[in-house]
Amino acid sequence: MSFPLSPAIWLLLAAVLVQLCYAAYYFLPFARRPAEPAGSEAAGLDGEPVSVLVCAHNELDNLRQLLPLLLQQDYPAGFEIVLIDDRSTDDTYLYAQQLVQYYPHVRLVSVTHTPEGLAPKKYALTLGIKTARHARLLFTDADCIPATNQWLRYMQRGFARPADLVLGYSAYAEEPGFLNKLIRFETLLTGAQYLSFAWRGRPYMGVGRNLAYTRAVFQSTKGFASHIRSLSGDDDLLVQDAVAAGARTAVVAEPGAHTLSQPATSWGQWWRQKRRHLSAGRQYRFTDRVRIGTFVGANLVFYATACGLLFFRADWIPLATVCLVRTGAMLAVYQQLNRRLGEQLPAVWLPVLDAVYFFYYLALGISLFLYRTLRWK
């Protein structure tokens, strides 16, 4: 016996169809792409020296963990480390001076003040880039560590495809608690979007914790000139400008090329961090905002409509059918991405994390619309 479907069910079906199209065209092919060669298997691609730039503000403990790992990178073509001390009041300067004395390829840039109205980190990075000796620039943050001693090799091979801009993935360390799982799921889903979109020829952002580009790219965008007064965007808005200027983009997503960061430890800290990151989205190109917004919007429509249909008994059977098909298909794709990007999120948690994340995203969007003031270090 057949029965007519309500308009809400048709809306639910449309939202699911959009999600499945994104999964089939972007996420699943990206998750199944073949692995890159490691170590000596692709040694011929390690042909040019690189400058590794790290900007730090009062992060002495993090630098003591990061710098030894950078110095141990296996990269025969040669590299320098440009440490940018951005107005630190701890002993970062003294620690950096000691490294400079013992390691000639470590260089220190000391920033004592930021001109009025300019974003501190962007100003500091600009000084560091001007100091760097090499044409290839690789960026990470002080609170990150490279996943392996092959990180530099992997990221530099992206330039050989050929490319002017190389996008990497930065994961968060696994810790106990639901917040940590949610942060890692959000990172996985964000990474799946910007990496798979770029792999399909539609790059729109990168993360400053694991990003490389040439000096020519920085010059073509006039540095951070178009957004030098915005606190966020030293990574994603620069990628926006670089792509608009014609930069060729490569994706390097092997686990050996990842960086690993310490996640926020409180809901408030993560809330402020995500507000800052999402605030840059208003300056994305219209086509990118539509592409990202369509996927996020389809998920929000799915959950909002499904919650509403719970109150209508006649729609329970089609609702349950659609939800089971959608959840099964999307979670299978998320699990593929989970493995491809080297994450360790338990499969049993993925349905809960998926639902909580999109409602959290909605709350963030409302917060940014109502209250736009942001703060930096």
Query: For residue range 163-173, what is the model confidence (pLDDT) as tens digits?
Result: 999 999 999 99
**Is it the case that residue 372 has pLDDT exceeding 80?**
no
Global model pTM greater than 0.85: yes
Residue-level pLDDT at 361 = 79
Mean of pLDDT values over 137-146:
94
Q: Give CA torsion, residues 357, 358, 364, 368, to 10 deg.
A: 150
C-alpha distances in Å from residue 258, one per residue of 87, 90, 142, 144, 191 = 28, 28, 15, 10, 11
Q: Which residues of 224-254 are buried (b: 16+ CB within 10 A; e: fewer)?
A: bebbbebbbbbbbbbbbbbbeeebebbbbbb
Q: Quick one: tokens of 111?
A: 């920033």
Helix (H, G, I), strand (E, B) or coil at 44: helix
Q: What is the pLDDT of residues 263-291, one digit of tens each?
A: 888 888 887 777 777 766 778 889 999 99
In CATH, the number for domain 39-265 is 3.90.550.10
Taken as a whole, the chain contains a residue count of 377
Model confidence over 231-240: pLDDT tens digits?
Answer: 777 888 999 9
Which of 350, 375, 373 has the alpha carbon at shortest distance from 186? 350
Residue 251 pLDDT level (bands cut at 50, 70, 90):
very high
Q: What mean pLDDT, rounded, does the chain reach?
A: 87
Whether pLDDT at 38 is above 70: no
Residue with tokens 């409602």: 359
For 136-161, the DSSP string reads EEEEEETTEEESSTTHHHHHHHGGGT
Residue ranges, CATH 3.90.550.10, the chain: 39-265
Query: What value does the mean pLDDT take over residues 238-252?
Result: 92
pLDDT value for 311: 74
Gap between the Cα atoms of 21 and 14, Å rounded: 11
Instruction: Please tell me the distance from the alpha carbon of residue 41 to that of residue 64, in angstroms, as a whole number.
Output: 32
Q: Is the pLDDT of residue 374 over 60?
A: no
Phi first, then psi, for residue 83 (nearest 5°) are: -95, 120
Segment 298-324 shows an average pLDDT of 80
Residues 11-28 have a mean pLDDT of 93
Contact of 274 with 364, CB cutoff 8 Å? yes
pLDDT at site 43: 47
Question: 167 pairs with which residues across the strands?
Answer: 211, 251
Q: What is the pLDDT of residue 45?
A: 55
Non-local (6+) Cβ contacts of 368 within 8 A are: 275, 278, 279
Report pLDDT for 375.
47
Which residues 6+ apart lie within 8 Å of 300 measured at CB? 358, 361, 362
Band the pLDDT of 369: cuts 50, 70, 90. low
Confidence of residue 320 (pLDDT cuts 50, 70, 90): confident
Higher pLDDT, 39 or 251: 251
Q: Is 114 helix (H, G, I), strand (E, B) or coil?
A: coil
pLDDT at 117: 83
Pick from 14-18, 305-309, 336-340, 366-370: least confident: 366-370
pLDDT > 50? residue 246: yes
Parallel, antiparallel or unpaired: strands 165-167 and 249-251: parallel
Residue 370 has what pLDDT?
63
Map tokens 């994104």 to a residue.
22
- Residue 202, classed as helix, strand or coil, is coil
Dihedral in degrees, nearest 10, Cα atoms 172, 302, 349, 187: -10
Check whether 132 has a pLDDT greater than 90.
yes
pLDDT band at 135 (very low <50, low <70, confident <90, very high): very high
Residue 319 vs residue 172, higher pLDDT = 172
β-bridge partners, 137: 51, 213
Percent of the chain whose pLDDT exceeds 70: 91
Residue range 322-351: mean pLDDT, rounded: 88
